[in-house]
Every structure is written in C-alpha cells, then in structure tokens.
Amino acid sequence: MQVIVTTGLNSGPAEYQNMGDVAMLQMAVARLLGLWPNAGIYVLTDSPSNLARYCPGALPLSRASCASWVADGSLLGRYHGLLPKWASTILSGLKRILGRSLPRVLELMISLRLSLKGGPGRLEEFKGFMGVFQDFDLLVACGSGGFADSCRDWNLLTLWTMEAAIRRRIPVVMFGQGMGPLSDPIVLAKAKRVLPKVSRITLRGTRGAETLLQSVGVSPRDVLTTGDEAMELAYLARVPELGDGVGINLRVASYAEVKSDLAAAVGPVVREFARQQGVRLLPLPIAFHEFARDQEAIRQLLAGFDNESDGGLSLDSPQKLIEQTGRCRIVVTGAYHAAVFALAQGIPVVCLCNSCYYSAKFQGLEDLFGVGCTTVMLGEPDMVDALKSAIDNTWKSAELVRASLLEAARRQIEASRGAYQGIRGLVADRKKQVADVISETGRV
C-alpha cells in the first residue's frame, strides 16, 4: 500500500516554514497511518529535512520531479515560458499525448533533459519519484488554503498531479480544503476538467467554497464541510481552564493586503488593553518565510510593551504554538491558523483582515463555531473603535463561550475523522478492479 500526499507550501525549501500547513500535514499523515499502519506515506516536498523533522512517519518524494512529470511545460523546463502561446499550446498537448500513449518515451525524454541540465542528483530524484508514481494506490491532497488567486503555481501543480493520477484510475481525495476566492481563468478552466473527477472533497469551511466548487461542476453530494485538519492537534492539547494572556498575531503580507501602517494602527489598541487588564501579550507566529514574517509584525505590535521579545521566533513547531495558545484567555490574530489553534481549545478570537481572501477564511470560522469568533476589517474608518469593542467584548465573554467552542470543535473533528475512514472503501474497490483485470487478461 502506497499513498502520495500533496500538501500546502510547508514542504517547500528548508527556510520556508508555515506552522498551519505543518499541523495539517501532521494530522493527515497520522490518520493515514492509522488506516494503513504498514503503508508507505510519501509526501511531495522540496525539503526532506523539514519533512523528517515534522513528520518522521512520512517518506519524502521530490516535488520538483513530480512537476517534471505532470506539468504541461516540463519538456523544456523554464524555457517553455519563452514560447509564443500557440507553440506552448502545441507542445503541452504533445506532452499530454505522450504521457497517455507512450509514457516510457516521455520518461526517457524528461530523464535526458534532467541529466543534461539538472545533474545526477536531479536525475536520481526523478527516478525515485517515478518508481513510486508507477505503483501507488491513493493520492491525497491534505488540508490547505491554496485554491485561491494568490497561489496560481500551487493550484496548477496540484491539479496536474491529480489529473495524472485520475488518468491512471488512481483514487484522488481532497481533505480540509480552503477554496477561494478564485477568479483566475486558467486555474478555473483546469479545475473544471479535474475536480469533478475527484472521488471525495471535504472543506475546512471557507465561506463561498461550496459555490465555487459547484461553478466548476462538482456535485454538492460529493462535498462535505468538516473543518480544518489541524483542529484535532489543538483540541487534544486543550487545558482545563482558560489562560490569562492575550495571544497576538498580524499577517503583514501582500496576499493579505495588510501593510506595516495597519500594524502600527493595531499595536496601540492591543498594548493599551493589556496594560489596563495587567496581562501579557503572547506572540503566536504562524508563518516564517519571505512572503510573511509573522515574528516581525508581532515585534511591531509589542513595541513599547515588550521590546525584548523575539516575536515568537522560537515557537517553531505546531506543538509549541498550541501550548503557547493554551496560555491565552483570548487571541487577536490576522493569521487563520492562530485562530484555529485557539478556537479548538475553547479560546475565543478576534480576527483581523483586509482582503477577500482572509475575510472568507475568518467568516467561515464564524459559520462553523457560531460564537466566540469576531472579524474586524482593518482599514475601515471606525477600525480602532471596532477593534477596541471586539477585544473588550471577547475578553468578557470568554468563559461563557468556552463550552460551545469546544463542542463545535469536537463535532468538526468527528466529521473529519469520519471522512478519512471513508476512503478505505475507495482503495479496496480499486484493488478489486485491478485484481479482476489481472484475472481476465493476465496483466494490469
């Protein structure tokens, strides 16, 4: 039994870290190993060292090699982008034909290109990838928020990979997905060809996700909202009583449409509240990479309150962040997974956003939990007053909403576990089909 897992950006280069993506992957690997203890769980990654650190039960599989095999433009590599559109279309079509009709020829062509341009290391990685890809039983796209306009490259690689598996009649399932907002015509066109053929799709609750899937031809009966896969990690680590601190995070990034000037406006509000209550401000960084350095935004929030803080740079695992979250009475955050880690422990949150992408995420959490989750739109004229009011009300109601939050988390975890359990039948059905073909023809 071999399973290939494609995930969010956490398994990118070694310097790329996103603790939300890591937490979702950890949960996915644990659940898959629970279903098939002796299976080989292969994760597409650019950083085997990161994978070994965070998911020692998983095996690395080269994401770059996967792209070489499934991507439309892989015959020429980076030079494909220099072609005129008509030539690109013809070459991409030729590659797909080769992949379906003469896969061995295509493999030899890609191997030749890699041996000339990539060196022996890249060639060996590709051979390793093909060894697994030619004989696996299930493709799992585990939880992520990638299917949005800010993630075109990830979207296309994931869709290409799923399409390649579907062509080989391998079951494909998608768990805990955040869908949208998505308007990219190229990605939508590809999604219309691929997503309706996926065996099972579960959503983590992004508002508008069901409508998006219906627009690309996915039947509502094939979709279930189960919440975020990382929720179980935090729920299991919940503490008996609320903490006394205020967890803080602000996502300063282009895709969040938040710049440092908004951080400067938020800082005085949270610092003044902490002084009035005599409580700590506790960093909860999720992203540590070139596109979003949460620890730096948090240091700006703490300026003048705790100038010695590293912004939470040492909180470099989901477990450390979840433990830190458990010390809070409330959390004020611009990062989605800081909210998930809190809500799953019965800790109410104030969510900060300035984009449709994050608004859909946080409003989805409001829908799933019902209480204890308040979204404040940054940049609005009354933002400061709205934020002050939201923090104050959330602090006062923390004890009252705790039981409801924990029950909502429990229901989502149960639904998510059930969705994983349901894929046993998909794999069993395929194995039976393969066995029947062998019995009738003497070959696969």
Indicate the burial class of 441 (C-beta count within 10 angstroms; 0-12, 13-18, 19 or more): exposed
Within 13 Å, how many C-alpha atoms sit on residue 62's CB side?
18
Rounded mean pLDDT, 138-161: 90
pTM of the model: 0.90
Distances (CA, A) of 154 to 8, 102, 241, 299, 429: 8, 27, 40, 30, 30
Angle (nearest 5°) at CA 361 between 142 and 152: 60
Q: What is the per-residue pLDDT for 15? A: 53
Q: Across the strands, what pairs with 4?
A: 42, 139
3-state helix, strand, coil in the chain (%, to 5): 55, 15, 30
Q: What is the per-residue pLDDT for 86? A: 57
CB contact at 8 A, 285 and 309: no
Q: What is the per-residue pLDDT for 254? A: 85
CB contact at 8 A, 369 and 405: yes
Q: What is the pLDDT of residues 230-286, one digit of tens each?
A: 999 999 999 999 999 999 999 988 888 888 788 788 999 999 999 999 999 999 999
Band (pLDDT 50/70/90 cuts) for residue 10 is very low
Q: Domains of the chain, with CATH numbers?
A: 2-230+420-441 (3.40.50), 233-416 (3.40.50.2000)
Q: What is the pLDDT of residues 71-100, one digit of tens each?
A: 866 555 554 555 566 566 666 666 666 666
Q: Across the strands, what pairs with 288?
A: 17, 293
Q: What is the per-residue pLDDT for 140? A: 96
Q: What is the pLDDT of residues 95-122, one digit of tens each?
A: 666 666 667 777 777 777 777 776 677 8
146 three-class SS:
strand
